[in-house]
Amino acid sequence: MTRHLLDLCDAGGDAIAAMINDAIDRKAARAQLPKGASDADRPLEGRVLAMIFEKNSTRTRVSFDMAMRQLGGTSLVMDAASTQLGRGETIADTARVLSRMVDAIMIRTDDHAKAEEMARHATVPVINGLTDRSHPCQIVADLLTVVERRKALPGLEVAWLGDGNNVLHSILEAAGLMKFNVRVATPAGYDPDASFVSEAQAGGARVTLTRDAAEAASGADVVVTDTWVSMGQAHAAEKLAAMAPYQVNAALMRLAKPDAVFLHCLPAHIGEEVTQEVFESAQSAVFDEAENRIHAQKSILLWAFGLL
Ligand code: CP
Ligand code: NVA
């Protein structure tokens, strides 16, 4: 059966643990190599990944491309607007054509239903490179970053501050699968989708929803935030005002554990969701997190190809 990764539950907890372990091993094994050199085993030799972008990207685009190169394969980028998708060719036909031409598809889209449609019609793996609903690949990199900082996932206390968005949804999904707890502090009207909360709770995660940033951050092992205005959303003054009490600043970080890690998927808006001081602090792991997108994508690709 073709393996798609539209959400983390498509892989499950055991596969995510395997991805993290594989990423740690591959990262260590190539520590001295130039970034463009391939891993010794070149497990994706001859395979091609097509990447479809309906939205901007730096990390996802470069990390998937570098992941394919390091695994011995190649990638190509399709800017959706300049393909026939941009003129109304259906997702179904695009999926069937690409399945004849390439070995896997990554899609970044403003509508999760389009990624699902792509997976329904593709006969090669389809990977979600961010939708309005979720960002699973980001969270594999985030978990890798947390584990690298010598924190065990089961029982971990993760505080999320700000907008209840796609990144938070994937964190909640991971919490249920990997058995960690999430304290979510969002302003009224910006809660995460309730289905992600109940799914995490059903998986055994403790999820606390609060309007109080300090309550969420107190004693946390990991403090995470993201932009207050995601791609495709209106830049409303009203939303920015509602988010202001949820800024991650030094006072908030002092409430977390002394060795708490700060994460942000990037791009960041310094002075909005995070202060310069926290962003540049020793607790900030944001550039390890960005680099880990490559190492995580490699494990995700290997899993999708049935090689993990
Ligand atoms: N974090 C992330 O997905 O970054 P890009 O939008 O640059 O891909
Ligand atoms: N929540 C952000 C994440 C960007 C990587 C967005 O969807 O724009």
Q: Tell me the domain boundaries of the chain.
A: 8-135+293-304, 150-284
**Does the pLDDT value for residue 209 go beyond 90?**
yes
What superfamily would CATH give domain 150-284? Aspartate/ornithine carbamoyltransferase (3.40.50.1370)
Output 93-96 pairs: Cβ under 8 A, ≥24 positions apart: 93/121, 94/52, 94/118, 95/119, 95/120, 95/121, 95/122, 95/126, 96/121, 96/122, 96/123
Q: Which residue has the CA at smallest separation from atom 2 of ligand 2?
A: 230
* pLDDT at site 26: 98
Q: Hey, what amino acid is at 281?
A: S
Relative to beta strand 157-161, strand 74-79 is: unpaired
Token representation of residue 26: 């591959």
* 76, β-bridge pairs: 50
**Comparing 8-135+293-304 with 150-284, is the CATH topology the same?**
yes
The model's pTM: 0.98
Q: Which residue has the CA at smallest separation from atom 1 of ligand 2?
A: 230
Instruction: From 61, 230, 263, give the residue whose CB has the most ligand 2 atoms within 8 Å, as the site to mutate.
Output: 230
Half-sphere exposure of 179 (CA within 13 A, CB side): 6
Please write the tens of the pLDDT for every residue from 9-26.
999 999 999 999 999 999
Over residues 204-222, mean pLDDT? 98
Beta carbons within 8 Å of 62's beta carbon, 6+ residues apart:
294
Query: Is 201 near ligand 2, meaning CB less than 6 Å away?
Result: no
Rounded to the nearest angstrom, the distance between the alpha carbon of 227 and the centre of ligand 2 is 7
Residues with CB under 6 A from ligand 1: 57-60, 130, 138, 265-266
Rounded to the nearest angstrom, the distance between the alpha carbon of 58 and the centre of ligand 1 is 5
| pLDDT confidence tier of residue 34, bands split at 50, 70 and 90 | very high
Query: CB atoms < 10 A from the CB of 287, how many?
Result: 10
What superfamily would CATH give domain 8-135+293-304? Aspartate/ornithine carbamoyltransferase (3.40.50.1370)
| pLDDT confidence tier of residue 151, bands split at 50, 70 and 90 | confident
| pLDDT confidence tier of residue 234, bands split at 50, 70 and 90 | confident
Query: Is 231 near ligand 2, meaning CB less than 6 Å away?
Result: yes
Query: Is 289 near ligand 2, meaning CB less than 6 Å away?
Result: no
